[in-house]
Chain A
Amino acid sequence: MKSINLSSISEFSENILLIKLNQESPYSNNSSFFLALSALLREESHWIEVVAAEESIAVKYDDIKISTSKAKDLILSTIKGFSYKEESKTEILLHVPVHYSDEFGLDIEKITKTQSVTKEELINLHSNIKYEVKMIGFNPGFAYLGDLHEKLRIPRLSKPRINLLPGSVGIAGNRTGIYPFGGPGGWSIIGRTPMKLFDNNNKNPFVINPGMRVKFDPINKKEFESFNY
């Protein structure tokens, strides 16, 4: 096992600590490491929120119950006992049907021009990869999936859209993702899934979770309309 090489636990606010690793650490920009460590921390009862980003974790605690130095000690001892093994990850593969069409794929035409790909190539390049969940956040249930094929990497829109349809599938940089509830969004939209990514009847209502892989399966309009989930 490699050494974790913790850089610092710093104070983000009165009751939030930030965990980062040294640049030299083999895991400093490994999002799976941060997701795994954050899941472990979340099992401990003293934290109010444990939020993983791609290269850091924020831990919120009740500073009336736990002092800052005690909180730091607790995190350090968890990290000490944490053994991260990339190889042993068990992954669930989630198939997400997507209708790639001009009707829902508001930016398909633009992308085929700027990236010099045909629509078919775009669909193949996007749907042939088993994406890893890199990070979850921005808005409820939004999973950052990666890595996107190099040919499809484009910057975010200069002006975000106000009201996307729920299930819209977007791309930006080396990431792709689905807007579970629609709403505002700054990614280029290439299609839409009829799949419900959220079920309020479950204890964890979100369908896409850390540790999963996601594969997009192209479907036609008829399949989109008759999809029942």
Chain B
Amino acid sequence: MSIEIISSGLQTTIQDLGREGWRHMGVPESGGADKHSLKLANFLLNKALNSPALECTLTGPSLKFLRSYSLVVTGADMNPKINNKEIKMNKVIDVKPNDILSLDNCSKGCRAYIALSENILAEDFLGSVSTYLPAKLGGINGLALTKGTLIETKSCEPEVFSLANKDFKLNDPFQNEWKLRVIEGPEYDFVKNASKENIFSSIFSVSNDSNRMGNRLVGEGIELTNHDQMVSCPMSIGTIQCPENGSPIILGCDSQTLGGYPRVLQVAAVDLHLIGQLRPNDNIFFERISINHAREEFKKQNSLFPF
């Protein structure tokens, strides 16, 4: 046994980059809700980018190490401390046996990632150890970590990143107001013309009723034209569904694979990782871009970061 959970935090789960290729059997990708911060953590430790890390939500956990490790904390700043002494985010730190890492609350962003120099051991399901809470899969017994849980780790070969010394912007500055770039979804034309203008000029806020499956938004309702009852359609991470009540839902990494509400907008790939950082009461506004522009922005982002 290598790490003991002293306190669990609000919802701490083991996540890697998720599982691909099983959506046709109803299995969502899962993995880190903010895959960008998860990759950054592994990158800083010279680890394979898909290595599992601990995803912490709003309030982080306290961990006691039973061995020596290097570790890094990325994502939302939960004021991490080792033995009550503050440490920096996005910086590799060494810990020794009996050291305690404690995370607190965050005020900007929603999720932090703790990655370790060794590999976290967890249950594999369809090629990933990511915890999927709705069906209790992956992770440790498919559950969020609880006080007293012991996590095992195993040493691993470091990856060599050729761009390791490149100077790059570490992260988007986290905030409480987010611009999400979106493209029109397949049922965009179900939105009434007057409402189409409102979507891009009004501000939505993230409801408390939000989790890894989806973020419900509150704001000026989106009015839909009368349309035939939709049959279930394929959905994707970042699809913005609009039920009849006019309150849109941004689908997250654990979201259902099929759904029956109009897909009015789609978050551009370049901003998908931001969905994992939306916290209740944050404000959101949508900027519409063309699909070609969205592809260019994504390429630009990929060239900025060495992962």
Contacts and interface: CB of A to CB of B under 8 A. Distances in A.
A54 B231 CA distance: 7
A38 B268 CA distance: 25
A140 interface: yes
A185 B125 CA distance: 22
Given A51-B257, A137-B257, A14 B24 contact: no
A14 B256 contact: no
A26 interface: no
Given A13-B238, A181-B134, A137 B232 contact: yes
A55 B231 contact: yes
Contacts of B294: 14
A56 B233 contact: yes
B232 to A, nearest CB: 5
B20 A48 contact: yes
B165 to A, nearest CB: 24
Interface string A17-34: 010000000000100000
Nearest to B183: A13
Given A11-B291, A55-B231, A200 B125 contact: yes
A52 interface: yes
Contacts of A13: 183, 236, 238, 266, 269, 291
Interface string A48-62: 111111111110100
Interface residues of A, number: 42
A12 B135 contact: no
Contacts of A16: 234, 236
Contacts, number: 111
Nearest to B295: A14
A105 interface: no
Indicate the size class of the contact surface on chain B.
Answer: 35 or more
A100 to B, nearest CB: 24
Contacts of A136: 24-26
Contacts of A144: 232
B164 interface: no
B258 A53 contact: yes
B258 A138 contact: yes
Contact of B266 (A12, A54, A138, A183): A12
Interface in A138-165: 138-142, 144
Q: Which DSSP category, helix, strand, loop or mixed, fits chain B's interface?
A: mixed
Contacts of A57: 234
A183 B258 contact: no
A101 interface: no
B134 A183 contact: yes
B143 interface: no
Nearest to B294: A14
A205 to B, nearest CB: 7
Contacts of A54: 231-232
A54 B233 CA distance: 7
26 contacts: A12-B186, A12-B236, A12-B266, A13-B183, A13-B291, A14-B294, A14-B295, A48-B20, A49-B23, A51-B23, A53-B233, A56-B234, A57-B234, A60-B236, A136-B25, A137-B23, A137-B26, A137-B256, A137-B257, A139-B28, A139-B134, A140-B25, A141-B25, A144-B232, A182-B135, A205-B126
Given A14-B269, A60-B23, A137-B24, 7 more contacts: A11-B291, A14-B183, A137-B256, A139-B256, A140-B132, A181-B135, A200-B125
Interface of B: 20-28, 125-126, 132, 134-137, 183, 185-186, 231-234, 236, 238, 256-259, 263, 266, 268-269, 291, 294-295, 298
Interface of A: 10-16, 18, 29, 38, 42, 48-58, 60, 63, 135-142, 144, 180-184, 200, 204-206
The 7 closest A-B pairs by CB, nearest first: A58-B234, A181-B135, A137-B258, A137-B257, A137-B26, A183-B134, A51-B234
